[in-house]
Amino acid sequence: MSFLDDPVEKWDTHPGYIKGFQVVGSLNVVNDHAERSIKLLQDLNRTVTRTEERFQNILLSTEAHRRSLPNVTKKSLCRNYKSV
């Protein structure tokens, strides 16, 4: 972290910066949330729906439902359905 005290122009030659750059560059970036969503949609498409049209209808109805309940928490759902 001591390279932060140096001017940016000198960071390329600082051993700490070089080591950190190598470590960060070797990390595998995974968007776990997106990957799980894709897997869920693939499983749904394979098991529940038989046609692309039915699959698209499910996606559209899910999107409409999410828009109707933008703040989905247990508390907000209880408040919404107590009056019913």
Separation between Cα atoms, residue 63 and residue 6, nearest integer Å: 50
Domain count, the chain: 2
Instruction: Please report, to the nearest 10 degrees, the dihedral formed by the alpha carbons of residues 65, 54, 40, 34 taken in order.
Output: -70
The answer to whether 69 and 75 have CB atoms below 8 angstroms apart is no
Q: Mean of the per-residue pLDDT values for the chain?
A: 83
- Same domain for 24 and 38, yes or no, is no
The answer to whether 30 and 24 have CB atoms below 8 angstroms apart is no
Residues 42-82 have pLDDT tens digits of 888 788 877 888 888 888 998 998 888 777 788 877 776 76
Separation between Cα atoms, residue 23 and residue 76, nearest integer Å: 43
Q: What pTM does this model have?
A: 0.42
Residues 10-31 have pLDDT tens digits of 888 999 899 999 998 898 877 7
Domain range for 20 is 1-29
- Same domain for 25 and 45, yes or no, is no
